[in-house]
Structure 1
Amino acid sequence: MLQVISNQQKIVKKNGGFGIEILFPGKGTGSEDSGIGTIGRIDQATVTPGTLVPMHPHKDDEILTYIRSGVVEHKDTEGNIEIITNKRLMMMNAGAQFQHEELVLQEGGVLSALQIFIRPEIGGLIPKVQFYDFPEAISRNEWREVAGKDDPFPLQIRSNTWIYDIRLEQGKQQSLPVLPLKDATCLVYLFDGLLAVNENINIQKGESLVVEDETILLKAVEDCNIVLFVTDRNARVFKEGMYSGNINRTK
């Protein structure tokens, strides 16, 4: 199965210098679950320098801050005060109780980033925060492990989820990496650029493609920054996280 999730299926919000495009990937496929397996929500953010996102809570979300440009000062209730950039990424394993704030610094210019909300395996886990310094901001034409359930992924996610990225240069082709499990569901998210899939599907900036039981070939029509999400739909997952949870659930 191949299914494109278009930009028209996103929710757009803007407040002052803070703008986000919100993707609930399950809603994009018409599912009763707003997420897909462990993939709860993906926010593509554009934030002007000097903007402060004040201290606010998270609960039962595994949150990857994936920066492509800009510099952010991060503070949280675990006592961390850290600078994060496109080479120094952050995973907030929010667990039972967690708060943080983010200040976009003038020195880095406009922030362009993804805030990725992954579902944990169970609720009420102990909160923690991870930082990792990558040698380079991008991985040219080769898939790179970013975050996942186990080694060799440098940032750890507490559920059956694996995240890769690649900078695919114009004219270059690449298939998906060797996946960590059989019967995986993949979400190919195009951060920017123009991407051809199997020579008959075009994906634009901000759009994504759900892949199940298919072999695909990606070709960069323009330089592309791509984020790949891999999830196990059959794994145990907690769907009541503050942001990652199923927004369609009934109580």
Structure 2
Amino acid sequence: MIGRLVWFAGLAAIALLTAVLQLDLMAARAPGVVPIVPSPLRNESQVAITRAALAGTDSARALAEAERLVQRRPIPARNLVLLSVSQAKAGKAEDAAKTIQIAAQRGWREPLAQEAMLRIALAAGDEAEAARRYAALFLRDGTPEPLLSELGTAVLAKPGGLGQSTMVAIVVGGERWHAAFLGRGPRVMPPAAFSAITADSLARGAAFDCAALGQSVRVLKRRDPAAAASLRTAAERRCPRLPR
């Protein structure tokens, strides 16, 4: 009798463990299940927790969660990239650079790598490199706009800075940039920066579509009427019928 009870208890424990592990796997698609996964069994759940912490403003918490993730699963490059991003966000540029180099030896997911390298470049004062990494994230459809807004303020807000001038060179240098730049830029870039970058791009020969530019002015006006008016003035020669 006791043997049967032990047998059934063992089966129940295995079933429970299997169910919890399945919930952990689901965390990548359904973050809502994370709280019901016991802490010692969190693998994918810990990834979700780390990503959520990185999306917030508490850099110390993000770093702690990323370190916990790598302690549990040190092999996947994805986890090392998350650690690198959190280190860079916490101001630990040297640590972040070392971590991303280790991740590079194993391969990494490009968007996370770009964000990590952007934050490292910012911490090192390399505005031009930060702008190039920002451009790579900007062109990726799946990059969240709140992240682009946060990084855009850090990379592009300095008037006449290397961040803005590098972005102008990128925009002028490739027509494939134009539709994305005019469509997304006024939503995620600092308004004054978007206005200045667009005006400088026009001055350097960027052949923007006037209808798309007009829509950009409308969006920009809702955020910053002065920036929109400045852009409209700069664009009048090419597109005289922009909205007022």
Per the normalisation by structure 1, the TM-score is: 0.25
Q: Which has the larger radius of gyration?
A: 2
Higher relative contact order (CA 8 A, sep 6+): 1
Which structure shows the bigger proportion of residues in helix conformation? Answer: 2
Per the normalisation by structure 2, the TM-score is: 0.25
